[in-house]
Structure 1
Amino acid sequence: MRFVTPILLILFLLLQYRLWFGRNSMPDYVVLKERVAEQQITNEKLQRRNALLYEEIDDLKSGLDAVEERARNELGLIKQDEVFYQTYQDLEEPDS
């Protein structure tokens, strides 16, 4: 009994050291938990973006209105027999 208590105490301290300072210790766990939380936030943002892209894909597949809108906005296309007016805003001349 005289040797059992010190041996158990030493074993307990070694296990505690490994728990707090060794590989895969509590500080490592906390850091990893924070990284997982950050990654979950990033994943949620990407899932929202993907949902918007899927909606846009469905809209483009289902009707011509979305295709026409993109053609007008991005490519500057106009329909046949349609008149296109381009206006310029006058720039103020600097005082000399």
Structure 2
Amino acid sequence: MRLVTIALLVLIGWVQAELWFGKAGVAHVHEQSRELATLRAANDGAKQRNDQLQAEVSDLKEGLEMVEEKARSELGMTKPDELLVVLTPGK
């Protein structure tokens, strides 16, 4: 009986040591939690930057009509198959 008690105490001590100091110990879990928080913050920053870039791309794609209209009216540019006719008001 005494041998079983000693064996159980040694086993409990070993499990406790693994819990506190092992690979999956408390200190390691806290370190991983801090690293996870840092990575999540970096990920949120990257997501915000991606959203901003996506908005810029969308503006550029949709804004081409406005750029084309300005090029036609202010610079007199035409497409390859078009003919530019300028009407001037008479006096």
Q: Give the TM-score taking structure 2 as reference length.
A: 0.68
Cα-Cα RMSD? 2.2
CA spacing shift, 1:53–1:66, aligned 2, 3 Å? farther
In structure 1, how many angstroms separate the alpha carbons of the residues matched to 2:21 and 2:12?
Answer: 14
After TM superposition, the structure 1 = structure 2 runs for residues 19-58 of structure 1, keeping only pairs within 5 Å, are: 19-58=19-58
- How many percent of aligned residue pairs carry the same amino acid? 36
Count of matched residue pairs: 71
After TM superposition, the structure 1 = structure 2 runs for residues 16-95 of structure 1, keeping only pairs within 5 Å, are: 16-64=16-64, 80=75
> Match of 1:3, SS?
helix
The structure carrying a bigger helix percent of its residues is 2
Bigger CA radius of gyration: 2
In structure 2, how many angstroms separate the alpha carbons of the residues matched to 1:60 and 1:27?
Answer: 50
In structure 1, how many angstroms separate the alpha carbons of the residues matched to 2:23 and 2:66?
Answer: 55
In structure 1, how many angstroms separate the alpha carbons of the residues matched to 2:34 and 2:61?
Answer: 41
CA spacing shift, 1:55–1:20, aligned 2, 3 Å? same
Gaps of 5+ in 2: 69-73, 76-91
Q: Deviations over 1:48-88 (max 9, x none)?
A: 110000000011011237869xxxxxxxxxx64xxxxxxxx
The Cα of 1:2 is off from its aligned counterpart by 1.9
